[in-house]
Structure formats: structure tokens, C-alpha cells
Structure 1
Amino acid sequence: MPIRIPDGLPAQETLIEEGVRVMTEKVAIRQDIRPLRIGLLNLMPNKIKTEVQIARLIGASPLQVELSLVRIGGHQAKNTPVEHLLAFYNTWDEIKDQKFDGFIITGAPVEKLEFEDVTYWDEMKAILDWTTTNVHSTLNICWGAMAAIWHFHKVPKYTLAEKAFGVYRHMNLNRASPYMNGFSDDFQIPVSRWTECRSTDIIEHEGLDILMESSETGPCIVHERKGNRLYVFNHIEYDSTSLADEYFRDQQAGIEIKLPHNYFPNNDPTRPPLNRWRSHAHLLFGNWINNIYQTTPFEIEKIGSEEHNPGY
């Protein structure tokens, strides 16, 4: 099944070129089927690039998925045209009465700030609370994961002495988890962050299960069964060139930055990097969507009701 996206979204052309099946809203309404509703709270500066990254992974599912783009209402984006935001995004306030089978919260370039110092933290807290009643399952990425695990469990983040930046080996710690179905025992994932959450803090909380971890950069994926949440601290959704783009951007801006770890062939930034995480990115998102499909109520209005069981 194709992914259903707003008519005219720029990501459509890229997705079609990559072989991702795309369905416009006009075509979707003719099909007598309830698609899974997934919302994307996009906090990344380059929203269009993030839309493509997430839609690519969701669109690989055999299920019909309707993707809704959401933005913070109290924050003005500087790197995305206003026309794009007005055409394709709703503020959270505009969709807060709706229900979603899945909801994705991305990272944001505010990780060095204390949570309370983020200008939109009050709205962020309201959104996180809203997910407990209006969303069946939430997937939180990078800063979004750190914000969510702090909000719900007060697991702190720590500032690193230097940026964790590159492609790092990770281990599968729970092969029985449905979210790790098909994962290798040992694999590599992009990391790009100035802060970290630590396993020693996470394991103190009953109900938080570390599914994936790196000996160099710490926990990567944590599952919370009761809240039906995934906390993904690294960027498994990144494009092949995402780390290169960050590296050259900082270099051109005169910001001191080290070569991304284990990324460029022979550490030569003139050579194009090889993508060694694409298949696992598809596995993670596919497993997440599959679990949503198996556990979400057919009547979406029942999400958040007393008889609603969030599932695994």
C-alpha cells in the first residue's frame, strides 16, 4: 500500500523517484479502507528534508498510512518557507482534538539548553501529555526522545565534552522484542548529538526496556510498554549524506568539528559515504507500524478511552 500525503507536498517527487508508492488525498478518499493515521511533529530546522526521510520509511509499509504534518504553534521556523508551513502543516492546537494511531516527534537543535529554557517547552509538555490520551503509540527521536523521557520519567540528559558524531556500532539487547524483529545482533547507526541519556538512569525505572545500545555512545532505543512509547536517541532515519551535510556546514561556518566517526571511506571527506543503516531503519519503522496495526482499535475514536489497551 502507498503512503497518503498532502496534495502537492514537495517530498512527493523525491519519494516517487525512489520507488516509494505515493497516494494523493484525492485518490485515497475513493478507497473504502481506514488508513493508519500517523502524525509527524517536525521540530527539525530543514523540515522538507525531514519530511522526505520519515515519509520514505513509513511509505515502505504494506499498509495504507495517512501522514499528517504538525508544527509547534508558538515557534517561528527560520529555515522553512512560511508558504510551505501554511500549505502543508497544522499547528498542534489545530489538531489536538483528533486521534492518531501513531505520532512521531523529531529532534530539534536545542539540546544544549535546559528543557525549561526552550521557548516552546510549555507547548511541548502539553503535546506530550496529549499523546497519552489521543495517540496509540509514539516514536520520539533524538531531542524529542530526551524531552519525552525527561517529561514522563525525569531521566536526565548530560552534556558531552565533545559531540557524538558519526556512525557507531550498536548491539541488539532484546531479540524477543517485536520492535527488533529482523535486526542483526550487531549493526551501525548514525549519531549526531551534544547530549546523552545514560543506561544507569534508565534501568532504575521499571517498565523502561533498553532494546539497543552502543558501547561508545550509550543507549539508542528504549521501549516503554505501559505508555506504548519508543525513545530513539540516534538518527536511524538519516539520509546517506546527512552527516556529511552537517560536517561541511559547520566547516564553512568556521565551527570546529571533527571528522564523523567511521563514516567517510578511509576517513576521506572527498569520497561519498556508504549507507550501512538503511535496512535497519526500514525494519524499525516497519516493525513499529506493524505493531500499531495489530493493537490499535479499529474505531480510532476509542484511542484514549477506558477500554483502550495501548498494546505491546
Structure 2
Amino acid sequence: MKNKTCLRIGILNIMHDKAATIRRIRRVLSQDYPVELTFFYPQTHYTGRQVPAEVAAMMAPLDLSRVKDMDAFLITGAPLEHLAFEDVTYYQEVVDLMEFLATHQIEQFYLCWGAMVASHYFYGSQKHDLSEKVFGVYPQKILRSSPLLTGLADGFLAPHARYAEMDGQAIVAGGAQEIARSQTGHLFLFTHPAKHRTFLFAHLEYGRNALKEEYQREWQAKVAQRTLLARPQHYYLDETNQAQPDFSWEETQRIFFQNWLDLVARRKEEKV
């Protein structure tokens, strides 16, 4: 590791479970490279109200003057699938960030809702609600080779958790490449190497208990609709009592994020 350059990576953390998201991102991006991670929150999300103390303690307000020195930048997911993009309070701030990243050719990683909003903005891809939440661990079909999937075999497992889907054809028409798709037919991975963009529609950063915790949060928040809640599929070691989750995508997670860090490091070397 001492011979590897430090990678400076910014993260716009817009997940609801911000502390848990920080822990997950730190874990998956702290592998074989020294990394300097800076977590940001969108300032316009707190317009007219005080920034919560716990948010201010964990993250910094998004500042593009700090972003310009990053080697890469990641925009997380967010539980906003049912909202039109333009109705999100901090949408314009996200757009300004994406434009800045594109203009400065910073390596970009768009994750789940981050991938949705980025594919909508850059390629005009439209979002549509799913008839039911895609929620669980599913095998993925590799459609074309990519450095991001080096070391992974067709059928590798990954967790999905979302209520909406994007138009993949529009993304491809915009110049991106579809790399892999869930065997259930849901979007998984697109890249646009010339534009330095990675779009991951699944939650590959999730740890063992994340799907279980997501279900529990929704159970508590939607008391009147409990019978309608989706349960994570193909996730528990024993489906009869659903007590012990199976971290079946652990190796996939390690390999994928290592490959992405390798990509960021190569791009940084090319710039020198």
C-alpha cells in the first residue's frame, strides 16, 4: 500500500441512514488503497432550518471549490423513487454538482437513486414506478466485459432495493454501455468510460444486515400498510424463520469496489 497513491474521494451522502451509509462507504472504499474520504450534505436540503447537529458533525456542506481537487466523486442513493426528480428540494444542487464533475472530468460513481437522477439528467432517461419493490439478492447477467467486473463470473449475486426503474434504452442511446442486468430483468450496471461515469442501480455497498434493517424501517414507518410491504427475497439462510441474513454478495462487493478503486487510480496516474 505504501507505493500506492492516496485517492481523494468525495461523497454526497443523501441516504436517510446517514451514519450507517458512512460506515458502509468507508468499509467498501478502504481496501488496498490509502483513501481520503470527504462526506458532504446538500445545503439546500436545509434551507430555512437548522442543519441537525449529527449531520454537521459527520459531513460538510457541499462546496464545489473543494470538489475540484477530488480524484473521484460518489452520489449515494436516497429513498426518493416516488418523487419527480425536479420536486426534490436539492435537485438543482445535485445538477450543479453533476455538471461540475462532468466539466472537470472527475471520475463519477452514481449509486441507486444517484444513478437514477444522473441517467435522467445526462441521457433523458425517464423513471417509472415498479408494480412491486425489487427487494432482495439476485444473480446478475453479464452483458459485456468491463474492468469493473474483472474477477466476477456470470450469475454473481447482488442486492437490489428500489420501487422504481429507469429506461435503460435511453441510457444506451445517450452513449453509455449496459454492462450487466439482473436475471429478473432489472437494471444493474452501466458505464460511460469516455465521460468517466459509472451507474450502479443496486445497493452493492450494503452489508449483511442492511436489507433487514431497511425492511424494519419501512415496517415501522408504514404501520397502516404493513401487509403490502415487500420482504427481501433470497436473503436469509433459513427462509422459514428469517433470523440470519446471508451475506452472499460479500466477495462480489470486495471485488467490484476494488476494481473501481483501480480504475480511479489509473485515471489519476494518467493525469500526472
Structure 1 length-normalised TM: 0.79
- Distance in 1 between residues matched to 2:38 and 2:67, nearest whole Å: 14
* Maintained 8 Å contact 1:106/1:140: yes
Q: What is the match of residue 24 of structure 1? A: none
Q: What is the match of residue 183 of structure 1? A: 152
Shift of 1:173: 1.8
Q: What is the match of residue 7 of structure 2? A: 36
Mapping of residues 1-312 of structure 1, within 5 Å: 1=1, 35-60=6-31, 62-76=32-46, 82-93=52-63, 95-96=65-66, 98-134=68-104, 136-175=106-145, 177-205=146-174, 207-253=175-221, 254=223, 255=225, 256-297=228-269
Q: 1:135 to 1:101 in 2, by over 3 A?
A: farther
Gaps of 5+ in 2: none
- Distance in 2 between residues matched to 1:298 and 1:201, nearest whole Å: 30
Q: Matched residue pairs, number?
A: 265
Q: 1:269 to 1:118 in 2, by over 3 A?
A: farther
Shift of 1:287: 0.7
Provide Cα deviations, 1:243-285, integer angstroms capped at 9, x if missing partner: 1112222223423313211112342354211111111111111
- Distance in 2 between residues matched to 1:225 and 1:32, nearest whole Å: 26
- Distance in 2 between residues matched to 1:149 and 1:250, nearest whole Å: 26
Q: 1:200 to 1:132 in 2, by over 3 A?
A: closer
RMSD: 2.3
Provide Cα deviations, 1:90-109, integer angstroms capped at 9, x if missing partner: 21136446321111100011
Runs of 4+ in 1 over 6 A off after TM superposition: none
Provide Cα deviations, 1:4-37, integer angstroms capped at 9, x if missing partner: xxxxxxxxxxxxxxxxxxxxxxxxxxx9985211
Q: 1:63 to 1:266 in 2, by over 3 A?
A: closer
* Maintained 8 Å contact 1:136/1:292: no
Higher share of residues assigned helix: 2
More deviation in 156-165 or 229-238?
156-165
* Maintained 8 Å contact 2:5/2:265: no
* Maintained 8 Å contact 2:148/2:260: yes
Q: 1:180 to 1:298 in 2, by over 3 A?
A: closer
Structure 2 length-normalised TM: 0.89
